[in-house]
Structures are given as structure tokens and as C-alpha cells.
Structure 1
Amino acid sequence: MKKLFFCLTFVLLTTSLFAQQGFKLGIHGALPMSSEANDAVSLVAGLDAGYMHALGEVVDVGVATGFINGFPEKFDNQVVGVDLPNVQFLPLAASFRIWLSNSFSFGADGGYALGINEGNDGGLYYRPIIGYLMGAQTEVNISYVGIEVDGSPWATVNLGILYTFPQKVGR
């Protein structure tokens, strides 16, 4: 019940931000890096959403969320076949970026990743990220996702693309 309340509160607080400047939407693909993630899934895909506010020309801060889905490994032999479940997370995080130039940034997201699939309680979420602007609204990024699930790390290396919706000037 606490997770549902936290999730709903986050969604309600961020929906008012969607119409403002700096709303970002993207996708990413990932490979598992930790033994826990590697044993459970073969590939990971996700959606990213967030809002960034510029504190000046160098630093941006905001909120980030998304959806992470780990596609399960398939184990089949002549005696037994095992179907593992998808591993799914809903990250809720604060976010910051530091711009080293007009097109290169680095930063991190940090917060909590809610476990969505059965038996997944989620855990502490962190995501260091490096981004490169390929145009006025398109960013390509590489990141590392770490989620501390029951004392063991869930870790992936990600390649993603983000689109920033243009800011509306005036009314």
C-alpha cells in the first residue's frame, strides 16, 4: 500500500510538469552486468521520462521516472523447461546534469526503483549518465543502472536516446 501511495503521489506531482519546458521522453536498451541480473535476464529495455529545469547555463536539475523490463533467459532441455518471469522496475528519482559544453553533459539520477513483478520489492536506484546532444532536441546517452535489491546489486549498462519537447514561447 505504501508503494502504491508513493507512486500515485509522484505521478500526480509530475503530471503538472509535462506542459512546461524541459520535458524529456526516451527509450534505452541494456545488457545485464551483475551476476544476479545476468542469471535472470538476457536483455533489458526501458522507457525514460523526466523534466529538467536549468539553474543556469551549466547545471540542470529535475525529476526522472520510467519503466525497466528485463526479458528472461530461456532454459530448455529434454527433461525440463523453465519459464522465468520478466523483471520489472519503475524508477522514481531526482536528477541533475552538468554541461561541460553545448553538447556534452554528465550527471546522475538517484532515488528508489519500485519492483513491479511478483516477488520483486525494488530497491535503492542510481544511474550515472553521460549524454551527447545530436541536435537541438535529441540526445544520445550511455549510462549504468544500479538497483540494490535485497542486498544484491541489479546492474546494467544502457544505451539510450532522449527527445526534449520544444519549449513554447509566449502564450
Structure 2
Amino acid sequence: MKWFKMAFVLFFLVIGVRAQQGFKIGLHGGIPIQGEVNEVVSLVAGADLGYLFALGEVVDAGIMTGFVNGFPEKFDSGGADLPHVQFLPLAASFRIWPSNSFSFGADAGYALGLNPGNDGGVYYRPVIGYLMGPRTEVNLSYTGIDTPGQPWATVTLGVLYTFTKNLRR
């Protein structure tokens, strides 16, 4: 597993050096929707950073990373200080554009656990997006992280901004 993590980080760094167009940055927030995560985390917020290459008129592919923070549940903690649950996802990404303003796709890879006791796990994030302008996208996503013993599942709403001219429009 360590080899996989190191190879993925190296891949991200090498591609990032070449990436001069299609740079994307975004924010998202949401709620947990599954079992034990719902008992320890009340809200989720995060940031996205990545680059997508236009492979044609309808397909984009690239890499994404970011930061995901689960805010501890204060209401049901019984007075105990619960920790924030944090991940650093490293993922391959693809989007399909059936129209000029609508996209769907997914990010898939591995999410490194950042807080103590969090080993991370396999990361997947299906995304539906709507282009609000030439560079601004609003998206809805489901985030799943297969952590040992406590799978992570959230639904988030986000905004993504592209720093280059949109070649598709």
C-alpha cells in the first residue's frame, strides 16, 4: 500500500508540473449520510484542487486532490471532545459533457487519513455538474471512502472555478 501511495503522489507531482491550463479550484460542503459517520460528524466541508485535460469535445480527464474535514458532532457527544475527521484525497478524474453546460463523471483514488487513528481508504466521488458561466461550475456529489470498520459517506454541494479559458464553449 505504501508503494501505491508514493507512486500516486509522484504521478500527481509530475503531471502538475506540465499542467498550465484547465487548473481548477473549488469548495464544497455537505452532510454525512451513513451509520457511524453520522453519529460522530455533523457537517462536512472541503476544498478541491486539480487539472482536467480536454480529450475531445465531450470528455475531460485528469487529476484531483483536496482536503475534506468532518466537523465533530457536538449535540450527541455527551460532553466529550470528539476529533475532526480529515482526509487528503488523491484521485484520477473524468467528466463527460453531453451538453455545453451539463457534466457528469467521477473521481477515484485513495484518501489519506490525516487525523490520529484514521487510516484512510479507497476514495470515490461521482459528480454531476452544471456550468453557471464560462468558468464557474456548481456540482452535486456523493463521496465514499472505504475506511476499515467505519465507511465514510457524504452528500455535498460545491462550486468549482476554472482558471483558464474554457475551450469547449
Task: Name 2:17's counterpart in structure 1.
Answer: 16
What value does the CA root-mean-square deviation take over the aligned residues? 2.4
Task: Name 1:59's counterpart in structure 2.
Answer: 59
Q: For the residues of structure 2 that align with 1:104 and 1:76, how far apart are their CA atoms? A: 39
Question: Is contact 2:37-2:150 (8 Å) kept?
Answer: no
Task: Name 1:148's counterpart in structure 2.
Answer: 146
Q: For the residues of structure 2 that align with 1:97 and 1:149, how far apart are their CA atoms? A: 25
Task: Name 2:121's counterpart in structure 1.
Answer: 123
Question: Among 136, 139, 146, which residue is 1:138 paired with?
Answer: 136
After the TM superposition, list the runs of 4 or more consecutive aligned residues in structure 1 that deviate by more than 3 angstroms: 1-8
Q: For the residues of structure 1 that align with 2:64 and 2:84, how far apart are their CA atoms? A: 22
Partner-residue secondary structure (3-state), 2:21:
coil
Deviation at 1:160?
0.2
Task: Name 2:45's counterpart in structure 1.
Answer: 45
Deviation at 1:7?
7.0
Percent identical among aligned pairs is 67
Q: Which has the larger radius of gyration?
A: 1
Partner-residue secondary structure (3-state), 2:117:
coil
Task: Name 2:25's counterpart in structure 1.
Answer: 25
Partner-residue secondary structure (3-state), 1:15:
helix
Question: Is contact 1:104-1:133 (8 Å) kept?
Answer: yes
Question: Is contact 2:135-2:165 (8 Å) kept?
Answer: no
The structure-2 alpha-carbon separation of the partners of 1:67 and 1:93, relative to structure 1 and needing over 3 Å to count, comes to same
Q: For the residues of structure 2 that align with 1:92 and 1:114, how far apart are their CA atoms? A: 8
Task: Name 1:99's counterpart in structure 2.
Answer: 97
Task: Name 1:90's counterpart in structure 2.
Answer: 88
Partner-residue secondary structure (3-state), 2:37:
helix
Q: For the residues of structure 2 that align with 1:144 and 1:99, how far apart are their CA atoms? A: 19
Question: Is contact 1:76-1:82 (8 Å) kept?
Answer: no
Q: For the residues of structure 1 that align with 2:101 and 2:76, how far apart are their CA atoms? A: 47
Q: For the residues of structure 1 that align with 2:165 and 2:70, how far apart are their CA atoms? A: 33
Partner-residue secondary structure (3-state), 2:13:
helix
Partner-residue secondary structure (3-state), 2:151:
strand
Deviation at 1:74?
1.5
Q: How many residues align?
A: 166
- Which segment is superposed worse, 66-75 or 119-128? 66-75
Q: For the residues of structure 2 that align with 1:72 and 1:7, how far apart are their CA atoms? A: 29
Q: Describe the superposition over 1:50-92 as per-residue Cα deviations: whole angstroms up to 9, x where unpaired.
A: 1000111000000010000000012579xx6200100000000
The structure-2 alpha-carbon separation of the partners of 1:10 and 1:151, relative to structure 1 and needing over 3 Å to count, comes to farther
Question: Is contact 2:34-2:154 (8 Å) kept?
Answer: yes
Q: For the residues of structure 2 that align with 1:76 and 1:109, how far apart are their CA atoms? A: 32
Deviation at 1:151?
4.6
Question: Is contact 1:75-1:83 (8 Å) kept?
Answer: no
Structure 2: gaps of 5 or more residues: none
